[in-house]
Structure formats: structure tokens, C-alpha cells
Structure 1
């Protein structure tokens, strides 16, 4: 199940079948939910967003190297690289645009799976983007010796929580972006790329060297980077840096494996260990 909806939400109504449920608790909770939803809509209408200020706040945020360095993700699919804005950038854009409520909910948990929901609600426009999906309590793991991939069932509450949060976060990113104006998102992406390209106080060469050091901590050598780049790292430009930062973020968060990005004749012990331990999750 993987339903995506864009709807105009209505204020919750006090109806439904509540057999075997404490009616007093239901009435209190229903009244609270109605009042809360109405209050949010009223406040959003009373204090509408200033779009000019929102664009200014977005540009200021995207000019920060700390955000720009975490603004993009990358992963391989069918021989090509898929990339886009991360959940971190999406959350920051929602903050700048204002009057946006978003989140994830676990609707139910049974038989080794969770029914989840990711949503984003533009309170001012009263438009909500919702995605319901089923997330199995399992992940793909690769055996270090046999190189075979198997399905591991998750039983630890912590593992189940982290797995649900990870998969829901990806849907949440898409829901937030769905309620934001396209030109607002596009300008944010361009501004982050300009920041990564050197429109700040740190020289591009220094940031490339820092990137190589961080890759080496994951077991990816300069030679492996240059083989993928097909030229020396000294010739990297801002677009190259943005692409490799996306790859680095994907590896660091365990979303992809080293072998998905880099070719090598002999892989380092560190890289082999990290590669084998990385969770092979479907994005």
C-alpha cells in the first residue's frame, strides 16, 4: 500500500462507531482535536506568510555552508544517479515558508509491519499532501563472506522504530516538497549549489580537500574518487563537489553502499567492513 493524496482537509467531526471505548474519553479527545485544528487554521489566516520575507529567509539559510553541505542526496538507479533535496533542506524550507505543519504517524502495528502516514499541511491554503504506506519490520542485509543478500526480520523495538523513522522520513520529504511552491524549492536548490560552488569565504580547493578527508574516514580513497570522476580531483568544480557531497551523505546515512558508487581493484579493509555493514534499503 502506497497511496498519495492531495486534499483539502476538513475540521474533524464528532461521529463514528466507538463501541467498547470509553465514551467520555472519546468526547474529550474529539473536542480537543477539533479545537486544535480550528485554532491552527485561524492563526494561519490571522498571520499570513510574507512571501517576500520567506524568499529572503530561504536565501539566507541556503547561504550557510552547514545547510548547503546537507542539502542533497544521491543514489544509483538503473545505471544513473538520482539526486534531490534532502529532508533537512525540506524542513528548513517549510520553516522559511511558514504556516506549514508536517509529520509522520504510526497508524497501527501488527503482524511484522507498521501502517504509516507522512503528511504536510499548508494551513494558510488549507491543502494537505498525505501518503499512507506499509513498512515491513525487516531490512536487507549482505553477508560479508558469501556476498549474499538476505532479509532480516526486526524484533528489537529500537530497530523497528529506527526502520520506520528512516522509511517515513523519505516520504515526509516528498510531502513537504509537494505543498511548497516549485519556484521556491528550485531557487533554494540553486542557492545551495552556489554556496557549495564557492560563493562563501572558504575556497573551493579547501572544501574539496576536506571532502576527501571525510570520504577516507568511510574507506573511500582519493584514487577511487578520481576513477569515478575520470580526472584529477584538482579539476573538480562546484557541480562536481555538490554531486560528491550527495554521494557522501548517502553513504554516511547508510542509504547506499560504497560498491554502488566506486570501482576498485582492491578495497580497503575499512571500506569492506563498512560496505558489508551498510543496510541495503530500497529508496
Structure 2
């Protein structure tokens, strides 16, 4: 037999196999710890069940805080209409005050420029569980451009941002809907009663902030809300506040709320004519500076 006829030796077959106890010790320890934690949580939930009336009172008391009330509701456009609901901040307060609820966000794996994560909420007392598994690409879109994310911090932020929305949905899935509605109503009531400044002044300042930060003028806001500035109510003020938070948090773009295509940009001739009219009016009113 020649050397060419010899089969290569697979040395892996001759290596000693690691004992099962060595290979699985870490895994078994982690599994045992998690199992014991779950058992302890179930035991405590059964030993100390929630007092629904006390939990409801805690939620109502929390919703009387102005800071929470300002962050309690979001709003964004979808399909020609507006969608609003409780924010992740309110959902977290509901879970904490309702009690015996475990919730969170877990990144399952990360590879090929994307992360696979799971958001969940578990009512330990009633054994009601909601979970959502989703995939997040490591990219950030800005207008028509897409930027690939490579820094660990950027990846964490985009996964946390996408995961917070799923976690909110999971929490709201295990808490009774009437409790959520009552919390939202209490937050709106807190906002209305917590302002000492007149509504007209608050609306005027809001219009100014929209103009300075996002380039949204008075006519755009009035068209979005459907009424003139002088006719704004407390609910209309809350609506533009929700739009402000949505723009600030990146939930939507200004073009989603306001019609920039319908904005009239005055020409140079129009501006000159307007300036002449203002000068003539000032002169007629006896303004000494207008005569110069």
C-alpha cells in the first residue's frame, strides 16, 4: 500500500472527552438559579396577593404627579388619522403600582448586523403572560439615508428604543383595560388642574417653541388641530403637547403632522410691498421714526 492510499487521521477522535459534569456545570447553575427565582416569585405572589383597591389608589396617586402626567400619553399619525395611547412611562408606573408583575427586555442574540430580542410581561399572581420576539437591524434612518451602526452604545440604544414599545404593549396586555383608561383620565385631569398660567399664554408660548425648534408656523398648527389659535381648548393644548413629545422622542417627523407643502413663501416683491404698507401705517399713526 502506498502512502497516497492512506486515509488522513482524525486526531479529534483520540482526544479525551470532557466529563459531563464539567461541560454542564455552568449551565446547570444558571438554570437552577433561574428556577429558584421563579419559584420564589410565585410563592411570594401567592402569599401576598395584590389588594386591587390599594393598587388602584396607588395608580391614581401616581397619576396626580404633573411630571408623569406630562409624559403619560403619546400621539402619532397613522393612515390619515391620529393614534394615541399610554406611553411606556405610564405603563411602567402601572406595572409597579399594580404589583406582582415581572416585565423586561432581553436581547437573545446579536449577529449579521441585527439583534433578536424579546419583550415580556408576566402577571405572576394570575399566571398571565405576554411576550413579543422581534428583530432589530443595526441601522438608523435619517431622511433618505441609512447609517449602519457599529458602536455598542448605538446598537444598545436602537434595540432599547424599539424594545420599549413592545414592552409597553406587553405590560398593557396583562393589566385590566379599565385601570389603564382611569389612569389616562386622571393624568389628563392633573394636567388641566396643575397649570397656573392662563391657557392663552401657554398656547402662545407653545406656538413660539414650535416655530423656533421645528420651523412650524402658526398656520400649520391651526390646520393640524382644526381650529384657530384663539379657539384652542385644554384638550387642543394637550394634543400639541403630545405632538411635541413625539417629535422630541423621534416617534414621528414634523412632516407627519404638518403640511409643509401648503406653506406660502412670500416673494421679494410681496415683502417689499408689506414693508411699505407698514411704513405708511406707522406714518399715519404719527410714529416719528417712520418719517425718516
Select between 253-262 and 170-179 the one with higher mean Cα deviation: 253-262
Give the equivalent residue in structure 2 for 1:229. Answer: 225
Structure 2 length-normalised TM? 0.76
1:161 correspondence with 2:156: yes
1:199 correspondence with 2:186: no
Structure that is richer in helix per residue: 2
Select between 185-194 and 83-92 the one with higher mean Cα deviation: 185-194
Structure-2 change in CA distance of 1:69 and 1:42 (3 Å): same
Give the whole-Å Cα distance in 1 for the aligned partners of 2:101 and 2:209.
Answer: 35
Structure-2 change in CA distance of 1:56 and 1:208 (3 Å): farther
- Cα deviation code 1:181-207 (max 9, x no counterpart): 1110111111122223x2335355154
State the Cα RMSD in Å.
2.2
- Cα deviation code 1:155-195 (max 9, x no counterpart): 22221111101100110000000000111011111112222
Structure-2 change in CA distance of 1:251 and 1:266 (3 Å): farther
Give the whole-Å Cα distance in 2 for the aligned partners of 1:42 and 1:191.
Answer: 33
> Is contact 1:194–1:238 with CA below 8 Å preserved after alignment?
no
**If you compute each CA radius of gyration, which structure gives the higher value, 1 or 2?**
2
* Deviation at residue 252 of structure 1 after TM alignment: 0.3
Structure-2 change in CA distance of 1:258 and 1:103 (3 Å): same
In structure 2, list runs of 5 or more residues that go unmatched.
1-19, 266-292
Higher relative contact order (CA 8 A, sep 6+): 1
Give the whole-Å Cα distance in 1 for the aligned partners of 2:264 and 2:202.
Answer: 27
Give the whole-Å Cα distance in 1 for the aligned partners of 2:209 and 2:48.
Answer: 44
- Structure 1 counterpart SS, 2:193: coil
Give the equivalent residue in structure 1 for 2:97. Answer: 96
Give the equivalent residue in structure 1 for 2:66. Answer: 65
- Structure 1 counterpart SS, 2:71: coil
Task: Give the paired residue count.
Answer: 242
- Cα deviation code 1:10-53 (max 9, x no counterpart): xxxxxxxxx89831112211111111111111111112111111
Structure 1 length-normalised TM? 0.78
Structure-2 change in CA distance of 1:260 and 1:56 (3 Å): same
> Is contact 1:138–1:152 with CA below 8 Å preserved after alignment?
yes
* Deviation at residue 223 of structure 1 after TM alignment: 4.0
1:114 correspondence with 2:115: yes
1:151 correspondence with 2:152: no
> Is contact 1:204–1:238 with CA below 8 Å preserved after alignment?
no
Give the whole-Å Cα distance in 1 for the aligned partners of 2:202 and 2:126.
Answer: 41
Give the equivalent residue in structure 2 for 1:280. Answer: none
Give the equivalent residue in structure 1 for 2:268. Answer: none
Select between 68-77 and 177-186 the one with higher mean Cα deviation: 68-77
In structure 1, list runs of 5 or more residues that go unmatched.
1-18, 143-148, 268-283
* Deviation at residue 67 of structure 1 after TM alignment: 0.9
Aligned positions of 1:112-151 closer than 5 A: 112-142=113-143, 149-151=144-146
* Deviation at residue 152 of structure 1 after TM alignment: 2.6
- Structure 2 counterpart SS, 1:192: helix
* Deviation at residue 209 of structure 1 after TM alignment: 4.5
> Is contact 1:99–1:123 with CA below 8 Å preserved after alignment?
yes
